[in-house]
Amino acid sequence: MATMDKAPRASRSAWARRAKRTRHKHPGWGAIALATLLSGTTVHAEYPEKPVRAIVPFAAGAGADIASRFMAEKLSAMWGKGVVVENQVGANSIIGAQQVARAPADGYTLLVPNDTTLAANPWLYARLPYAPLKDFAPIALIGETPFVLVASPRLPARSVKELVELARARPGAINFGSSGLASAQHLPMEMLMHSAHIKLTHVPYKSASDAAVGVVSDQIQVMFAGVSAVLPFLQSGRLVPLAVSTAGRLAVLPQVPTIAESGYPGFRYGAWLGFVAPAGTPAAIVNKINADVNSVLRRPETRQRLTELGFLPAAPATPDAFRTFISDETERYGTLIRAAGIEQTR
């Protein structure tokens, strides 16, 4: 991660000694030197001085989009500058991520990636046009989008057990949707199929929102969806909740059992979301955004509202902690993807 200071840290003390020896010869030089030395710590004090772009590599209306826009609204109010959310959809979030990786490292273009963008894609694409921990500066974890296994009301299944029985009776006949290969909707279904020894047919859509509409219209029968994205469909009865993917039941869907409760102990899945910037973004800017995101996440009203939206807010943490988290998640996803037998795209 780049530093703001022009002089290397190791040489500053020597630099200061030379300044002390020469200031008596040049009365005005000391003031100039002091201003120069301090400029590195003050140049970003007023960030942001203009609107900030937040690139969300998912479709509008997706769970990640809903949480991203909520956070953008709170940061806009805090900063007095607009945080403009732009949806750059395509190629399993690669298009948006690549755009930010190539953006100026000045803190005015941010990416709101999920686990697929940073942890799964490295295992899926041999020629991924970005390296998650090389091309981005991790800033802050926002939280997790819990998933719910939903079914079309026309499917004669009202529980995971009934879905498994149908799938075993008709291998491959039941279709499930996602936003693409090894996407946040695809992986948990692969996990369930592996655990239950069943076979469903994968139907990838352009976006998770399109896939959800596919289930509502009975074009496909089931999918794992972000709770926040499908909550209106669940409330209206246009989708049937079979189970949630979290370790415990959700406050927003208290009547819906977990998959672990439904006969598959240890099953847990959720798509996390965070802020990153282009690599080389000054540490002062990264730390300021981190502090402000954490400030928003500490507010009880924020946590309550995110929970109501079907989102699980993260505990505040440092950029370094987020970097370690991404690294650990990358290894975990490698294990999941290999176990599911998903081949890398070349």
Where are the strands (E) in 121-209, listed by range? 136-151, 175-178, 201-204
The answer to whether 111 and 97 have CB atoms below 8 angstroms apart is yes
* Residue 177 φ then ψ, to 5°: -110, 160
Please give the CATH topology (third level) of the domain spanning 146-262: D-Maltodextrin-Binding Protein; domain 2 (3.40.190)
Task: Annotate 16-28 with DSSP letters as a single string.
Answer: HHHHHHHTTTSTT
296: which 2 tokens? 């928003």
Give yes or no for a cis peptide into 254 (omega within 30° of 0).
no
The answer to whether 150 and 93 have CB atoms below 8 angstroms apart is no
Mean of the pLDDT values across residues 13-30?
43
Please list the residue range(s) of the chain that carry CATH number 3.40.190.150.
Answer: 52-145+270-340
Highest mean pLDDT among 39-43, 180-184, 298-302: 298-302
Strand partners, 87: 56
Selection from 246, 232, 237, 272 nearest residue 144 by Cα: 272
Mean of the pLDDT values across residues 330-338?
88
247: which 2 tokens? 């370790």
| pLDDT at res. 45 | 59
320: which 2 tokens? 């370094």
- Considering the four listed CATH numbers 3.90.550.10, 3.40.190.150, 2.60.40.180, 1.10.1200.10, the one that applies to the domain covering 52-145+270-340 is 3.40.190.150
Query: Cα(184)–Cα(114) distance, rounded to whole angstroms?
Result: 8
Query: Cα(153)–Cα(174) distance, rounded to whole angstroms?
Result: 14
> Between 72 and 28, whose confidence is greater?
72
Mean of the pLDDT values across residues 23-30?
44
Dihedral angle sign, alpha carbons of residues 184, 187, 191, 192: positive
pLDDT band at 130 (very low <50, low <70, confident <90, very high): very high
pLDDT band at 336 (very low <50, low <70, confident <90, very high): confident
- At residue 1, does pLDDT exceed 70? no
Query: Cα(253)–Cα(343) distance, rounded to whole angstroms?
Result: 35
pLDDT band at 310 (very low <50, low <70, confident <90, very high): confident
Query: Cα(230)–Cα(224) distance, rounded to whole angstroms?
Result: 10
Please list the residue range(s) of the chain that carry CATH number 3.40.190.10.
Answer: 146-262
pLDDT band at 98 (very low <50, low <70, confident <90, very high): very high
Query: Cα(1)–Cα(10) distance, rounded to whole angstroms?
Result: 17
Selection from 190, 342, 166, 209 nearest residue 267 by Cα: 190
Tens digit of pLDDT for each residue in 205-215?
988 899 999 99
Selection from 111, 264, 286, 82 nearest residue 189 by Cα: 264
- At residue 182, does pLDDT exceed 80? no
**∠ Cα 291 297 303 (to 5°):** 175
Mean of the pLDDT values across residues 323-345?
88
pLDDT band at 160 (very low <50, low <70, confident <90, very high): very high
- At residue 60, does pLDDT exceed 60? yes
Mean of the pLDDT values across residues 46-63?
92
Question: What percent of the chain is modeled with pLDDT above 90?
Answer: 68
Kindly give the pairing relationship between strand 222-226 and strand 83-87.
Answer: unpaired
Mean of the pLDDT values across residues 14-18?
41
| pLDDT at res. 221 | 98
Q: Quick one: how far is CA 90 from the chain centroid?
A: 15
Mean of the pLDDT values across residues 78-107?
95
In the chain, what is the straight-line distance between the N-terminal and C-terminal CA atoms, in Å? 30
Angle, helices 208-216 vs 227-236, to 10°: value is 20
| pLDDT at res. 210 | 93
- At residue 154, does pLDDT exceed 80? yes
Q: State the chain's mean pLDDT as an integer.
A: 87
| pLDDT at res. 183 | 83
**∠ Cα 279 281 285 (to 5°):** 145
| pLDDT at res. 275 | 98
The answer to whether 223 and 154 have CB atoms below 8 angstroms apart is no
HEC profile of 39-89:
HHHHCCCCCCCCCEEEEECCCCCCHHHHHHHHHHHHHHHHHCCCEEEEECC
Question: What percent of the chain is modeled with pLDDT above 70?
Answer: 87
